[in-house]
Structure formats: C-alpha cells, structure tokens
Structure 1
C-alpha cells in the first residue's frame, strides 16, 4: 500500500518503513541488511469465513528462507472464544521440510495431528505478532459485529535472488498482482534489487 497513492499513504509509509520494525526484522533474520517485500491490509468483515492454512513464502517469487512478516491489528482482536479472528499459527511448521511434498489436500486442512496450533489473542490495536515466511497460519471467520482490520508488513534478507515462474510455488492471482509492478524488471536468478522493494536496514542502521 505504501507504493499506492491515497489519503493514508504518508501514515502507512511511516509504519512500513519504520526503523524499529526493520531492526526487529533484521534481528529475527539474523542478518545486517533487510529489504521491505510488501505491505497489505486485510479486512475481515462481519460474517466473512475462515482463511485457509497458507505460508507467505509460497506466494512470493523469492529464492530464500529469510523472510518474516509483522502482523499488526488496527482494531482490537478478541480471543477466539469471544468471536475474535486472530491469526492461528502451526507451531514450528516452518521447519517441516516434508510440507511441500504433501499430496493429500485434507492434510492441509486439519493440521492438529502434526503441529501444535497457537494464537496470541486477545490483541489490542497496534500489537504485533511476527511469523516466519514458511510458517503455516490461518484464521477463523469473523463472528463479531465489527470488521477485523490488520496490516501485514513483510521483510526479506538483502541479496536474495528472484525465482522463476516454474519453481514450484503456488501464488494466488492477487499475490501475483502485488509484485507485478517490479518483478518483470529483474532477470530470473538475479539479485532482487528494485525501488519497489527498498532496503530498510543496512548494517545496523536504518535507511531513510
């Protein structure tokens, strides 16, 4: 969203390019240089259904494992028992190397026998949870009378290379749209370096 003109662009830009967020991303990734991948706003309206299990890196054209997402609720998110719709994480699923070889789609719907499922609700507006790019996560439908609105901001290690379209990832059309304005400017296998995915942390200091 920070790349798009709109009434809230300056405010969103201050958040997604925040040195504090970039520093935390660098610490979690254990690297010195971090780029912003994208930011997205998710609005789950009253009555909207559940979000299926998925991982962020499966939707990204990046040849790396060093990818994290900050999920920031912009409204209060109550506990599930109170009708809230927080993110639910499949704990340690980012370390499951067999995951991409599953052929039975039913296994991707019911993960209770393979992982411990964890959420962090209740959450206040402005709280932040972080998850690895390969961590499976989902959410329940919104059973409350107000929308659940959240901002997701994703970062990756600088020096990452671009994957080809035949690399086995399965992005949704909306994900392809999200990187369509820059991915065509870079060669497959080349280092991802583009103004649309700016460097936000460089060797222990912010880049502004």
Structure 2
C-alpha cells in the first residue's frame, strides 16, 4: 500500500443502527441513514472519485442525442479496482457492516461499485429492479447509494416503491422508457406506497434491496449530482444460471472465471465484512 493510500480515512469505525431501523428496512425494502460518511471523509474521497469519473467517462454525444438510459447518468463501475485510493472507499468495513446488519446476514461480499453522476440537465432514471441484471441465487442483496455532494430537494433522492422487494422477479425489463411506464402502472395499480427522502447531505446514504423498485428524477440544476454506490451480496451466495442476456453479461463482467453453481468469490468479489472476523 502506498503512503498516500495509507493516509486516507479507512472508515472502519462502527455506525450504530437500531433494531427499529433494521425492521423498517426489512418491511419497506429501503432506508435512509444520515452521515454514514463524515464531512471530512467525503472531502478526501470526492475529488478522487470525481477525477476517475472524468477520466473514464465514455459518453461521446451531447445529452440531447442520447437515449433515455444515456441521459440518466454517467455510469462507471468497479472504480475500486482502478486505484488503491478508491478501494479504501468501496471496501470500507463501516459500509459493509451496515449492509450485513440490514440484511440480517453474517457477512457480505462486494458485487461491484458504481459511480452514478447525473449531469446538469440529465434525465430521469426510469423505474426498474436492479436484480434483473444479477445472476444470483439469493434475495440477500443491497445497494448503498451515497451522494458525494449535497443533493437539493429539487433533485432529491431516489423514489422507492415500498414493499416491492418482497415480490422478487416481476419482469425482465431493463432500464428504459418501457420499464418506466410498465412498472409505474404496476406500482400504482397495486397501490404500493412511494417514498422519496428529499434533500440529502454529502455522506448520507440510502440502502435498498436488489428487488426494490425505484426511480430517480432528472437533474434540473446547474450542478453535477455526484453519487457513489456499492452493491453487496451475502457471503455464501452461489451464481445462478443466467436466464437473460443481461445476466449473462453480468456473469462475464463481474464474476470472471465463475459459472452457475459456483460461490460468488472471484477476485472481484472480496469479502468486506464478516461477523466471525469482527468478534
């Protein structure tokens, strides 16, 4: 480890969550937790993450010429593998322990991270379920969604359809205009409660299940909405047989060398929290 990386905040300190918060998450499929990362930690990591996003951004068309997915955000995955400075953030024990406690599992591994930067004037993120992309044989998955800059009420957090995580697979629609229309009709038709947490400070975080239906508004402001996400999966999970092109693609991208039936344990999926190790 370089001297610079060693000097970065390691974020191993415990973040206490209550049983009421765990129960809320299990019932709703999402939760907001304040100041999961401190202002000082964000001050260090935001410039590092932003620099790599700028360097790796492969959008070569202006917003108005992109499709709905392309307008939604700049999306860069597995930043933690690009530099050890970034791995200190993604592999932080504090974040991973929260994920494990909310899901009620003994340990978690990384599925992957993603920077999701919504540009000024960027479009909405259509309704979708994350886990339609993931070839996993478990429902014990969770995503941490953390803004690296203050997010105003005008932009807001994501909107979640409470309780939809209990449904599992609803359809195979990838993020698109079609998924937005179809799932919006489903949510409204079934009467699911929709919750958005509004303004968030840098370092606040939402956590949501891989099956929780969610969307996000566009960015009407002149500032970049900078968000870092980390996806966790329960340790001991096995790879499922891909049943779609999206899942076949994810298997090749995020689980190199693995096949259906193997434990999720490739070099890209390190264990980041274990209750046994933490004792």
* TM-score in terms of structure 2 length: 0.63
Deviation string 1:141-199 (CA, Å, 9 cap, x unpaired) is 11111111100101111111112222xx5638xx936x534534012122111111001
Alpha-carbon separation, structure 1, partners of 2:161 and 2:226 = 22
Instruction: Find the partner of 2:266 among 179, 194, 207.
Output: 194
Matched, 1:89 2:163: no
Alpha-carbon separation, structure 1, partners of 2:132 and 2:245 = 6
Alpha-carbon separation, structure 2, partners of 1:190 and 1:180 = 13
Alpha-carbon separation, structure 2, partners of 1:182 and 1:128 = 24
Aligned residue for 2:193? Answer: 116
| Helix, strand or coil at the partner of 1:162 | coil
Alpha-carbon separation, structure 2, partners of 1:3 and 1:176 = 20
Q: CA deviation at 1:29?
A: 1.4
Deviation string 1:97-144 (CA, Å, 9 cap, x unpaired) is 573499x96431343343111111210011111101110111011111
Instruction: Find the partner of 1:165 among 219, 242, 248.
Output: 242
Matched, 1:107 2:179: no
| Helix, strand or coil at the partner of 1:52 | strand
Alpha-carbon separation, structure 1, partners of 2:245 and 2:132 = 6
Matched, 1:22 2:96: yes
Aligned residue for 2:227? Answer: 150
Deviation string 1:37-70 (CA, Å, 9 cap, x unpaired) is 1100001111111111112211111111000111
Alpha-carbon separation, structure 2, partners of 1:97 and 1:34 = 20
Q: CA deviation at 1:28?
A: 1.1
Aligned residue for 2:107? Answer: 33
Instruction: Find the partner of 1:66 among 132, 136, 140.
Output: 140
RMSD, aligned CA: 2.5
The unaligned stretches of length 5 or more in structure 1 are: none
| Helix, strand or coil at the partner of 1:25 | helix
Alpha carbons of structure 1 residues 182 and 90: separation in structure 2 relative to 1, 3 Å: closer
| Higher percent of residues as strand | 1
* TM-score in terms of structure 1 length: 0.83
Alpha carbons of structure 1 residues 35 and 4: separation in structure 2 relative to 1, 3 Å: closer
Alpha-carbon separation, structure 2, partners of 1:20 and 1:183 = 24
